[in-house]
Amino acid sequence: MPKKHLVYIGSTLDDLKAESRELFRVILELGHIPVQAPRNGDDEADRALINKTISECDYFISLAAHRYSEEGKPSPLEAEYNQALNCAVPVIALIVDEDARWRANKKETKPGQIRKLNDFKSSLRKHPHGAWSNTQELCQKAQNLLIREINLRPRPGWVPGGEGINPAVANELARLGAENGELKRRLGIESGDLVSRLREQLKHAVKVLALNRAVLSFYYENGKTWENTRKFRYLRIFKVLAPELYIGKTTADISHFLGGVLNPDLKRTVRKDFPTPSNTVKKIMADFALLKLTRCAGGDPALGSDSELWEITEYGKELYAVYRLRQLEKPIERLTAQAVQRTEEVPAPAETEAEEPEPPKRRGRKKGA
């Protein structure tokens, strides 16, 4: 169905009532909607309503003759025209021919008003315009100019609900909807696969950490060499070190932390600087990085060669969360197992058959009674 356009009709004063009615008819016959707001004095609310109405229209027709305004008041038509310009509404001007026969009581007589009217008409002639001498000519010019403007400067217009979608557009929307549904379905399947893969990767990483060990030695205060060499599973090292790596730690910080936590001789204090070998610490962190659990965020040259900054990755956080959650759930499992065991140990009440009551003893008669 063709679009309909809102066409605002603005005129000078009441001197063009008959011509305005003819423009209404022409616009309706063209299949569009004529609009004209009543003027009720200088009320501010009415002016705001007129301005809003003009801003929502597609085209503005300015109908001008030989009147400008009442004495001392601004022209209402010029105010409406300025609103159309402010809202970028295309303007069509229909100006009466200067040689057309016109009643004297419908003409301005004061020089000031005539000058303002002529200036306003000059502004109107900057837009698509036509001159008319009678009602028939007015209607013909209005029809031609409006059709041309609609072709040259198309506006959004409107169509009745349910009739504004082209069949081709409707088919395309349906196709895109079906395609969107298929993509969502695939994404759901792929998301499930990704979760399964991630779980398998986490299990594999935990196995690798559990099966590999690092050899650490300790240097104590007042000591002369490395002592108490021990093997520690990577899983244990990662478990104690992961929370510390949420905030970056240098190699020196990690060495000091591991020295204090893993010290096998609690009666002795490890030295402050590198209580565990720096090369071993770097090797451990590099192995964690191979498993995507940590990353080296660079170092500060001012801190020396051992200032590498190590951080835990998002994948490492996920693995630690899985491991830690498993540890936190163990007490619940133990309590559940104990409750089940207690239930199994309580013997069920034995079912006993009810004993039949003994029949009452009969009393015998004495002989000779």
Going from the C-alpha of 308 to that of each of 73, 179, 296, the distances in angstroms are: 81, 49, 7
- Please name the CATH architecture into which domain 6-152 falls: 3-Layer(aba) Sandwich (3.40)
Which of 11, 70, 84, 5 shows the shortest CA–CA distance to 41? 70
Going from the C-alpha of 215 to that of each of 71, 187, 229, 262, the distances in angstroms are: 104, 45, 7, 12
8-state DSSP, 78: H
CA dist 50 and 8 (Å) reads 10
Query: The tokens of 218 are what?
Result: 């300790």
For the chain, residues classed under CATH 1.10.10 are 209-318
- What distance, in Å, lies between the first and last C-alpha atoms of the chain? 129
For the chain, residues classed under CATH 3.40.50.300 are 6-152
- Please name the CATH architecture into which domain 209-318 falls: Orthogonal Bundle (1.10)
Q: Cβ distance 81 to 116 under 8 Å?
A: no
pLDDT score for 341: 75
pLDDT tens track, the chain, 369 positions = 578 899 999 887 678 888 888 999 999 999 999 998 776 656 777 888 888 999 999 999 999 998 888 766 778 888 899 999 999 999 999 999 988 888 888 888 888 888 998 999 999 999 999 999 998 999 999 999 999 999 999 898 887 665 555 667 667 777 787 777 777 666 665 555 666 777 788 888 888 898 999 999 999 998 999 999 999 999 999 999 999 898 888 999 999 999 999 999 989 999 999 999 999 999 999 999 998 899 987 665 455 545 678 999 988 888 888 888 878 888 887 888 777 777 766 665 555 544 545 555 555 555 554
Residue 295 CB neighbours (<10 A): 18
Cα torsion for 143, 146, 149, 155, to the nearest 10°?
A: -140
Q: Cβ distance 122 to 64 under 8 Å?
A: no
